[in-house]
Amino acid sequence: MAGLALTLLALTGIAAAVALTHMNTIPAYIAIAPGYLVQAWLFETHHALGGFGYQATMVGVSALVWTLFILGMTAALRFMVRLIRRLGT
């Protein structure tokens, strides 16, 4: 499971990095939105990072959020399948 999580984190990190350079499309904005929200919050609290820190925050937070979302949905699906199989027998 840890290998899957690390692979998924790497893939979502790559997707977020690509999305950061293509912010003119809706799918790219959705992919980078969690990082964008965190960066906006940091800006409002006067803790915003500039330059590479800005990009690292946006990509890192987005990758982490989407990884946890996908892993959570996978765990929920596995639980539902096991529950259905248990109730069916």
The reported pLDDT for the residue numbered 48 is: 82
The reported pLDDT for the residue numbered 50 is: 84
The H-or-E segment that residue 84 falls in is helix 52-88
Name every residue whose Cβ is closer than 8 Å to that of residue 5 and which is 6 or more positions away in sequence.
Answer: 67, 71
The answer to whether 48 and 54 are in contact (CB under 8 A) is yes
pTM above 0.85, yes or no: yes
pLDDT, tens digit (0-9, with 9 covering 90-100), for 12-66: 999 999 999 988 899 999 999 999 999 999 999 988 888 899 899 999 999 999 9
First vs last Cα of the chain: how many Å apart?
Answer: 28
